[in-house]
Structure 1
């Protein structure tokens, strides 16, 4: 083969490779974003890989696009790895399609990115709803001068502790100093009886007095935490402990701007820009109910226009770009609370939760509220961490799915991160879950999934050949609601269709055979390891816990403390307070609150590592989930109350009671 033929062969091979990638990009946009491309030239193009979500800023992309003609509009949706460009004429758009397709650009981090272009009739994306700052939140710009900023930054000596007047710690993702009182990360509180000598730095006195006089704050703080963040670092979403501090919490941003995310329990997220030398003031709902945190990343999505500095990051996709983070130092001032908190948010208030833990629900409304607070809200918060722990499918569930006829339509009700949706490629599987975040993970994995409640699945009755419900029904707070969830599974089935149901078992030593969880517990006795019960373990440990299908860390088995209950059953627990379990002990009650210790997500959008006392591993935020653990025979008895159903098989599987039902 001569050199010319070799050159043509390589060129054709390169073209084919590029074409495959362009087609893949087109299919990905359609499948995940609903963006439909067209095969003819239009004035508008979608630019795959050219978005804020994968590190391409407006300033990088626009000059490249303008080489083909004047750009009429460049629309860059937040957190998306694509953008839309519109030219004044279709000829200019066609030129961009021909000359820029496959163009390689380098982002600000030095990473190479290849752009892929496709024609679209119109730009389309999911709009962010009109948002407002959380109630009680205020951002005051230019609260101090650049001279005061310099003095404050220079006043913090990160190399040594002078006079033991403050406490300095090197945490995994930031450096921190405490003044006035030390904040103890192991219990997220302060010791009121042990103030630090020296109080707050003298340089803060005049600044605080000025803020008081101008009305920015109402109380003079007596505790200061100084955090220093390198670019790419952040802090997990959290609520400052109610019992530790008074209502008003203020944070001064120095050195660099940053975007802080505020999230309501209902799932609403509001990104708030904190400019350099600005003061963030949190009171009321924004302080007590909304979590706040900083996502660890090196760029933030911000407004491109110079006039917009602080407040909400709007959904104006024609005015968004990326801002590179610098070293940021925050001065967070708080006043230590001397009396228990009596705020208006008892469900998330540690003072009021200790005084009056949630009671067992006595009505449908109370049951729904308990599930909303202690099931739905929690799994939205822990979805990323949970998904990182779900790896190995359970053999008996796999066996059930593999045995179904080819082409069967199967619904996984409570699919979580979808670990069972791809088990049998010969099935048509649909997943659904109450958690939007978990459903989003399913979609990222190319699975078909949607959000719904397990009591009302929007699938036509009799449409499914089979259903699976893995570790879901034990989250319903009353016997009536658990039976209703079983009935909904049966409704979905055609006559002759089968359902597999797993729930957590109360008995962990069934037939004198300990579950792997209890065997592991015996082996680990005497070992005190911070957070070990909630730390995702290696694959060989996955089988040590009751399968959660879509809940629970891989090597944590939920269990409860005795709590002086005397082994009371669920009927006797009615009207008493729900106990909180202690990890790695047997069950003594059926209706319990199970803690989840949130860890950093090792996935793509990894949050900051948990923070803690002076070490590389910090105690994590704790969320409590409601569970009703089933006694032997209880699941079968619930199934027998259903009409047109027979139990084909019931068995115990590593801490779960399981049944296979058939609709007759």
Structure 2
């Protein structure tokens, strides 16, 4: 049922008397408009345009393109329907404004049934342009291949009939019913308790005869390199999935193949640095994982009843892109997978020791118990790491943070400003009216500053060779969290104050433990690891186009965080941290919230795609591959901890304290 026309004619309040139904609809339409602006940055307008945003009509709430487009086309010629992935709204542009007006009046408040059979109400608003964030296109994980129509429909039927799910067997390990799927094993049982097989206890009967004949054919045709001796058959009902995982290195050889029968599915592959690539696996297709895709990337199936797929290539394999003009929903059916593997008889010697259970790794360093140990930890896991990654680190540090720019531009002309821990010097040239000098512990980063014609030198932030009281201002951006004890962090703050003249100001940024603060997630949690994303937009006189490339914030490549918690006088009780003597520093998981304060954060050094080699995670840093992983020490600050540390300093007042995209920040003044 269409909404009252009085609401449709304008977004403004009317002086006419509204009925109870009209008032209720108006409230919901205004709420939808405010929600779009607050959570998605979509600004609606009160006058008619060719473009409408359709709230509740999106892939994210189970409305498919095939369902929505016919409804929209009844009201006029649709130029384009944009359905961003995972969003509960869509954009439609009509050929004329008159057609847009007609849709606005007719469809606003209209009830439709989504693909789950639930009734939802559409709320339409005019917009000047439609824009959404879309990830850069991804490539297939190295070593991954999908072969479509690998078997005939007749063979598919025979394979499915060969599995008797009601069979009662004497071997209790032969068939398992897991929480979300039914499973059968052949050749060897895969034990989910330890994610491995017992190589000394093969199951009787081997692989089914029909599988053996098909595998022989694939070998002959060159699709696979080795004939497997283990088979796991999984049956998935719609809405079921399997957690992201890597098949245990020590259990199976390199080549792992999986045949999809009965229904297509989208499988997600994820790299340790956070990049996720959704892959469409059509019915009767063979997934082949070798090399990096087998050993390094996790793969899993998200539990859901619909998959987002390409509308024009609904049953084809390949990467699911973010092309909002070509996305729709596909309902899952019952899928049966035949996953073939070869049991490994010798330890794994792959090139990915960081994730390999066969290759022994040195334990991570312990939490420092003294100033000497803290200094050694910083030398190995801060100073040496930044020397190694300086070039790649610098390439990710190009966009200044607005609040820091604001601080620098507000300083009086001619001020002498020191950037302590200046990195590649991206803040040294912000305000040409200032005299800025930079210093950093990394010689390679200082060299980059000098190449850019900035004044910079090498020094330790605890001992800056600059005369006391000579600076009008100082900045310390993402530096103090690299010091490994409370005393050393306070000493770094005291050194900033020493440099300031009376009345001088210092701006300090440190990583925040609270990556979700005040109901807002930092970009560290929101964004994908890809350093660049693009916003797509349509406007009233152009087709779908790329609007601009949005750069990631200054925290670009910080991949991980968890820590051995410990207590100090500056922490709030909400941190629940205790000092754990002789405890190992944990390695954080990429793009997740911090659960503890002291940790090692991986940095994935970028090199040639497909040729990644992992260095020993805690060994010497001398020789490594082009895509090595390094670990940096961090102490992430709890709310109030930075302020409390500053209050221990003499002759200092805190002018301002705030949270900025995953950082706790203070502005100090020397009094």
Structure 1 length as normaliser, TM-score? 0.60
1:51 to 54, 58, 62: 58
- Pairs within 5 Å for 1:231-630: 231-306=238-313, 309-352=316-359, 354-358=360-364, 362-364=380-382, 413-416=511-514, 418=516, 421=518, 432=522, 434-436=524-526, 453=555, 502=575, 504-506=577-579, 550-552=593-595
Cα separation, 2, equivalents of 1:29 and 1:228: 39
- Pairs within 5 Å for 1:5-16: 12-16=19-23
Deviation at residue 322 of structure 1 after TM alignment: 0.7
Contact in 2 for aligned 1:639/1:645 (Cα 8 Å): no
Q: Name the CA shift for 1:343/1:109 in 2 (closer, same or farther; >3 Å).
A: same
- Post-superposition CA distance 1:382-404 (Å, at most 9, x none): xxxxxxxxxxxxxxxxxxxxxxx
Larger radius of gyration: 2
Matched, 1:60 2:67: yes
Deviation at residue 157 of structure 1 after TM alignment: 0.8
Cα separation, 1, equivalents of 2:646 and 2:313: 67
Deviation at residue 415 of structure 1 after TM alignment: 4.8
Deviation at residue 438 of structure 1 after TM alignment: 11
Cα separation, 1, equivalents of 2:152 and 2:233: 19
Structure 2, unaligned stretches of length 5 or more?
1-15, 367-376, 390-507, 530-551, 582-591, 599-615, 619-630, 655-665
State the partner residue of 2:229. 222
Describe the SS at the equivalent of 2:25.
Answer: helix
Cα separation, 2, equivalents of 1:237 and 1:331: 18
- Pairs within 5 Å for 1:97-116: 97-116=104-123
- Post-superposition CA distance 1:607-662 (Å, at most 9, x none): xxxxxxxxxxxxxxxxxx999999xxxx99x96999658999xxxxxxxxxxx999
Structure 2 length as normaliser, TM-score? 0.59
Aligned residue pair count: 450
- Post-superposition CA distance 1:481-540 (Å, at most 9, x none): x99xx9xx9xxxxxxxx99994732369xxxxxxxxxxxxxxxxxxxxxxxxxxxxxxxx
Deviation at residue 351 of structure 1 after TM alignment: 1.3
Cα separation, 1, equivalents of 2:24 and 2:387: 54
Q: Name the CA shift for 1:10/1:273 in 2 (closer, same or farther; >3 Å).
A: farther
Cα separation, 2, equivalents of 1:282 and 1:62: 38
Deviation at residue 414 of structure 1 after TM alignment: 2.7
Cα separation, 2, equivalents of 1:102 and 1:640: 55
- Pairs within 5 Å for 1:12-161: 12-161=19-168
Deviation at residue 120 of structure 1 after TM alignment: 1.3
- Post-superposition CA distance 1:454-492 (Å, at most 9, x none): 999xxxxxxxxxxxxxx978589xxxxx99xx9xx9xxx
Cα separation, 1, equivalents of 2:66 and 2:85: 15
Structure 1, unaligned stretches of length 5 or more?
1-8, 372-409, 423-429, 440-449, 457-470, 477-481, 490-497, 509-548, 559-575, 579-624, 649-659
Cα separation, 2, equivalents of 1:661 and 1:295: 45
Contact in 2 for aligned 1:65/1:96 (Cα 8 Å): yes
Cα separation, 1, equivalents of 2:509 and 2:574: 12
Q: Name the CA shift for 1:127/1:475 in 2 (closer, same or farther; >3 Å).
A: farther
Relative to its length, the structure with more helix (as a share) is 1
Deviation at residue 128 of structure 1 after TM alignment: 2.4
Contact in 2 for aligned 1:474/1:629 (Cα 8 Å): no
